[in-house]
Each structure stands twice: as structure tokens, then as C-alpha cells.
Structure 1
Amino acid sequence: MKVYTDMTALDNIVALNLDVHIWSARKKLTPTDFGSADLPPEQLASLGSKRICDPKDLRVFGTLKSRAVSMLDRIGVRFLGGWAIPIDRVDEVKDGLDAIKTEFVKAKDEFIVRYDEIIHEWITNNPGWESLISGSVVSVDYVRHRLDFNWQMFAVAQTAQFQGSGLVEEVASLGDTLFDEIAKTAKEAWQKSYAGKTEVSRKALSPIRTIHSKLAGLVFVEPRVAPIVELVETALARVKGRGPILGIQLLLVQGLLSLLQSPDVLVEHGQKIIEGQSAGSMLDGLVGTSTDACPDFIESESNGEDEEMPPIEAQGQQLDSLGLW
């Protein structure tokens, strides 16, 4: 089923470019680094690189960049080499990036202050290779200018003169990109928390809530996003409560994740809801039960614990594929 995003989606997004630079602390090896050693000719083999400081001292910068990317992936969708961010979540994104940049700048300042000490430790910890390292050491100013954390936000206008620039194609593919990203998140959640499990903790619902939040913020991207939001909301409502998720409730969540892992099936089911099928009946089909067979957990007045659902085998239910597998 074809997914196409209209150019009017640009009215609801801000494009964001993440601009993070991390010093590699590497220098290219040269024949002179090996003195009189007999090396193969360049057409046969090329030399690699040498580290001039301990990689662990730079690890924090990669970690902070990964945090920024993860946050942007949770909220936005990839677009123009960066992300399309919903306008109503711009402040949230800006606050998140500001906080990460503050940590980045602090880590950079600490690294710069200790730079000479870090280099000395690396040389000391690699006896016999002192000249190889020291001969490639760069100045602290050089390093300072190669550690940076910034971003740019900008609006993209629906201007006719850009029709042939590839912008139309970029916007048109936003829906496909969004459903592909949802499928990737669902697959990762399945492998990490659900595969082979007969029960899971409430924490296992976190990626599903993340999927719901992302879709809810990007409903303008494609008409079938809104019904999928409704489907996920309905599923989460059916597994509310405390205690482990098992039995019919686990079967319901597993069925939902199976659906979310396939962009084509996701679009198909979104279309079915648009055409009149209810999200509730679709979820009933995932577990092959009526709505009454999948009650919410009820807090016991005596001890506040959840009532446990009977094991799947005792229910005698089977998961209806609905064309998912």
C-alpha cells in the first residue's frame, strides 16, 4: 500500500541538523614511523592509523552524541540528513539538547585541562613506542577546536522554485521513513524484552510508549498514523496495572509488536481502522478473544497486588496471525 506525505506537512515541522565534532585522536601511519623496516609497496597495502591518546578519555563525547541522536530519534523522523521535529515539541528538543551540550562543554573543559597529563599517561603506558606517539602529538588548541556540540533548526518553506530540487521527494517519503523507524524500534524491543519470554516486567512497555509518543507527535505526516496511535493507546489501556505482564495480556502486547514490526502491515491496519474497523476489534483478533477475555489488572483491596491472569495454555487461545506471519 502506497504511503505518500503531502507538502503541507512542512507547515508542522522544523528541520534540525545535529552538528557534533569529536576529535579522533588518530594520525595516519607513515613509513618513517617504522624506521628501516621493510614495508610492502603502496599498491599492495596501505598503512593504518595510530592513536595518540587513550580512547577511553574520549568516550564521554561519543556517549553524549549518542544520547542526542537517541532523543531526536524518539521524537522526530529522519529528514534532509537530520530530523523533522514536530513544531509543538521544539522546546522539548531544545531543552534536551541544551542539557546535553552543557555536559559536553564540561567534559571538553575537563579534557583540555588534563590534555598534557593524558598524553603523558598514554606514552608511559606504551613503552617502546614513545617516539611514535610523541612525534604525532598535536597542540591543545588544535584539539579544542575539534571538539564541538551544536545544532541548527530551520523551517522549510513550500516554495514552488524548489519543486525540482528533490525536496518534494524528501517530503513525500516522510511517511515511509516514519513507519520504517517504528518497525525498527519494535524489532529491537521484541529482541530485547519479548523474544522467548512467558512473562515480562512493566518496564518492557517503555519502547511501546515511546512508539506511541513519536507517532502521536507526527500524526500530520500520513493519514494512517492517527489510527495506529489509537490502536497502540487501546492496547496500552488493556494492559494497565501493576505486576508482571503474562497470559493474555502478554499475548496482546506480542501481537501488537508483531504488527508494528512490518511497515506494510502497519499501513494496512491503519487503513482498516480508517474504513471503519475498531481498534478494539483488531486487538481482539490479535489474541483471538472477545474484549471481555482481556480485562485490566484489578488492584486487590487487601494487598494492592494485581490479579494474575491464567497461563496462556489454560486459556486455550491461539494467536491469530491476521496476515502478520
Structure 2
Amino acid sequence: MATPTINTILNNLIVVALDTTLWSGEKKLRPEDLGGVKLPPDKLASLGSKRTFDPVALRIFKTLKRRAERTLSDVGVRFLSGYAVPESALDTVFQILVEIETEFAEAKRDFLFDYDAKLEAWLKEAGEWSEIVRKAVEPASSVANKLHFGFTAYKVGEPVAASVKVQETLARQVGGLSDQLMQEVAQAAKETLEESYNGRTEVTRKALSPVNNIKAKLEGLMFLNPSEIGGLVMNVNAVLAAVPKSGPIQGAVLAGIVGVLSQMANIQGFVAAAAKVQQEETKAAPAAAPEKKAKKAKAAAVPEQVQAVAEIAPVPEVQVIPEPVEETGWFW
């Protein structure tokens, strides 16, 4: 199967970028806040932060942002300043993001409605440390400007009249999307194995959900590398077809699912093995007639007539969205 060109890939995707800012409710802890306590020099240690507002009240905004990022990463891959999403999934993605935008606006309104009362309750809870915290508080009007959720989508086209360096940069970014997808799929497969399958002799149908999500992502982005991605999808479809319509999943069926997840978790090994099989099949193929060989040799003698396809370059490691750490107290 032919390697897709840059234009083929760009024509099938939309870049969706989040425009989100959160207020942490934190300020830097300064030496004067500690009343002249002797501290080690900066090169040995640094002071942390003081929380000017209850972090529990701000949790909803982090949750909504994380949900938006998950929505995009479930169907797309990191690209430029956002996520490369298949155009076919755009309507669904927009519907979810609009819902999150609405929820964010409502949460912001509710948060600011009794901001002063919540702030006083937090200061009262701080007890002997309340004056240190009070010096760093911000008015509701300032906080309102720091809480924002939005998103935008745009189409990327190959720069025709741009410099060679600009074209090469975009070619590397686009060519690396397939590698980025494989890394993200590998990460998702590892997490699925650890959370739902490892050490279990049977699972419920709920455990199929992350497998189906991985399959849907691969199918939506198959245009990035049809041969490799298509092979993975075929394997996933084969094991899912054997799953019974009801009852627990166990035995050979469970082993098949674990096997395909392990394969995807070690995606580079799968790609190398597939390439080796393809090479062996090519070697084993019957020799072509002499006259056909001559024609092929003649065509190969003029490579400059063949349109070059951008070389696929590796991309940085997949960015995994960390789970939030529960935070309590006023300092850390």
C-alpha cells in the first residue's frame, strides 16, 4: 500500500486547540511571610507557595479542562499547538467541547457568586496563618479574568510558496503523526492491561470499553499509515469478534484480548515483526518474467521523475495527561 503524501494527510484532519486558563489560587511564599526565620540560601532550597483559596472549590475547573483534553486525545494526536483530529469526528468533538464550555461558564458563575464568603471561610480556617494568606488574596474581578475556557479549530495546508525550511519543518511534523499515534496507542494499551486485565482470569464486558476506544482511534486516523494501522485494526476486530454476546469473558477469548493489547503495548516490536514478514513474503514470491524485469529496471533508472514523499521523522514522547494530586492545607 502506498505511503500517504503530506497533502493526503492534511486533507483528512482538522487541528483543534484548547484556549483555557485556570486560576491556581496560589502565591509564592516569601521569607517575610515567615517573620524573619533564618532560611538556607536559594541555591540549597526554595520556598513553596501559599494557598489563598480553598483548592477543593477550584477542582471543578481542572476536571473540566482534563475532560476536554481527554476528549481530543481519545480521537486525535498531539499536533502543532493542539490535536490533529480526523475530520469525520469533528461534529462529535465539537458537541462535547461546547457542553464543557457551558459547564465551565456555569461553574465560574457559581464560584464567583459567593467568592468573598468562601474566601473569608478559608481565611478563618487558616487560623494563626490567616494574615500571611490575607496579604496575597485577589479580588473576584481579578480572578474572573483568570478563569477561561474556549477552543478553536483550523485547517492546515501545505505551504506552496514558503521557504524550503518551512516546508521541511511541516513535513517532519506531519510525517511524525503516525509515530505519535503509535506511541499514544502503546500507552493506552499498557494502561488498559494494568487497570483491567493483568492478573485476572475473567473480566466483564465493561473491560472491552477501552479496547473499543483504542480501535476507534486507530480507525479514525488510519489515513496516517494505512498498512500498519490497518493491520492493528484487523487484529483487534478478530479478537472482538470472538467475544460472547453475554456473560463473563474468560479462557481463550480473554487470552486473545490480552495478546492483542500486549502487541499494541509493544507497538514498535509489532511493526518490526510485520516488516520482517512482509520482506519474507516478498523474497518467496515467484520471479517475474525477464521482459517485465527489464521494464521495472528502466523505470527505476529515473527516480527524479517520481514525486518525493516526506520522510517520516520521530516525534517527542507522547504527552501523558497526569492525574491531579489531592491538595489540602495552606502551604507546601
TM range (shorter): 0.7 to 0.9
Q: Which amino acid aligns with 1:91?
A: D
The yes-or-no answer on 1:98 pairing with 2:101 is no
The yes-or-no answer on 1:141 pairing with 2:144 is no
Relative contact order (C-alpha < 8 Å, sep 6+): which is higher? 2
Cα displacement (A) at 1:34: 1.9
After superposition, residues 14-163 of structure 1 pair within 5 angstroms as: 14-160=14-160, 161=162, 163=164
Query: Would you say the 8 A contact 2:239–2:253 is kept in 1?
Result: no
Question: Structure 1 length as normaliser, TM-score?
Answer: 0.79
Cα displacement (A) at 1:135: 1.0
After superposition, residues 263-282 of structure 1 pair within 5 angstroms as: 263-268=267-272
2:174 maps to 171
Pair 1:274–1:86, CA change in 2 (3 A): farther
SS in 2 for 1:118: helix
Counterparts of 1:258 and 1:273, CA distance in 2: 19
Query: Would you say the 8 A contact 1:227–1:273 is kept in 2?
Result: no
User: How far does the alpha carbon of each residue in 1:278-321 deviate from its partner, in whole angstroms, 9 at most, with x for none?
Assistant: xxxxxxxxxxxxxxxxxxxxxxxxxxxxxxxxxxxxxxxxxxxx
Q: Which amino acid aligns with 2:269?
A: V
Counterparts of 1:136 and 1:127, CA distance in 2: 16
2:317 maps to none
Counterparts of 1:242 and 1:274, CA distance in 2: 38
Counterparts of 1:6 and 1:30, CA distance in 2: 55
- Segments of structure 2 that go 5 or more residues without pairing to the other structure are 282-332
Structure 1 stretch displaced more, 160-169 or 184-193: 160-169
Counterparts of 2:190 and 2:274, CA distance in 1: 19
SS in 2 for 1:121: helix
Question: Structure 2 length as normaliser, TM-score?
Answer: 0.78
Cα displacement (A) at 1:269: 6.0
1:288 maps to none
SS in 2 for 1:78: strand
Q: Which amino acid aligns with 1:164?
A: K
SS in 1 for 2:165: coil
Q: Which amino acid aligns with 2:267?
A: P
How many residue pairs are counted as aligned between the two chains?
274
Counterparts of 1:231 and 1:122, CA distance in 2: 55
Cα displacement (A) at 1:276: 12
Cα displacement (A) at 1:44: 4.0
- Tell me the C-alpha RMSD between the 2 structures: 2.1
Counterparts of 2:278 and 2:90, CA distance in 1: 29
Query: Would you say the 8 A contact 1:200–1:244 is kept in 2?
Result: yes
